[in-house]
Amino acid sequence: MALADSVPGVSGGTVAFLLGFYDRFISSLDDLIRGPWEKRFRAFRFLVQLGVGWAVGMGLAILVLAEVFETHIYAISSLFIGFILFAIPLVVAEERETLRGRWKWFFYVLIGVVFVAAVSSFSPATGGGAGQGAAGLLYVYLGGIVAISAMVLPGISGSTLLLIMGLYVPVITAVRAVMGFDFSALPMVVVFALGVISGVALIIRLLRYLMEAYRPQMIFLIIGLMLGSLYSVVLGPTTLEVPREAMTLETFRPLFFLLGGAVIFGMQSMKVFLTRRGIQKDE
């Protein structure tokens, strides 16, 4: 999830949905904030396990993989296109009972596609709003709310929204500085983290309600968001610090595309194996 969240055009929520723990992820966040103590404890244990992996992945992305994204962006973009395209049939198969006979809600797919494409089409801002002053830190706080709200939705890239707000490079640079024991950027990191926490508190209950009360519509919408994210990934190279051309057929890497598909089917096989193993233990 962290590796996906760190790349403009890709959503960690998509990874959670593909691996089958998206509903638990959303409900655990909600239970941690508003649930009874017993549910809070269970949610805390799950989120700590997930959070450790997320922190390791984000650390790798910031310290190690940033250069890989810069130098091999077309290969990485092809990989993520493989993730998304091979994943969509699995999502449809997983939710076939939810979607059966409910094709009247198909227009939610179109809404999802148009929304992500529209967001991705905005030109990234220069980052002039980010700073250490009160106004700049307030802007960073709002950026944290916006980013986490997008990251928990499959298909919507929080990193892309940070780019549009001009905060992606400043925030990544600040986190990298703090990880290198340069604490001059600590106020920005702390304020951004507070924005993330506030965003979770604001959006999670709404998401949980929508997934429970309007699941068919939400699944169609998520499929649309995933399809729309393909456009975001194609535009990914234009969002680098040194912008490059959007991906074309000439820069598309078929081998990495197929590798993305192989990873998705590998994760699906692992999910099926772990599910069967859990059922056998219960028996």
The pTM (predicted TM-score) of the whole model is 0.76
The contacts of residue 129 (CB under 8 Å, 6+ apart) are: 136, 139, 165, 166, 167
One digit per residue, the tens of pLDDT, for the chain of length 283 reads 776 676 665 677 777 777 778 888 888 888 888 888 888 999 999 889 888 888 888 777 777 666 777 788 899 889 888 988 888 888 888 888 989 888 899 999 999 899 888 877 765 555 555 556 677 888 889 888 888 887 777 767 677 778 767 787 788 888 888 888 888 889 999 999 999 889 888 888 888 888 889 999 999 998 898 888 888 888 878 877 678 899 999 999 999 999 988 988 887 787 777 677 765 444 4
Query: Which amino acid belongs to residue 139?
Result: Y
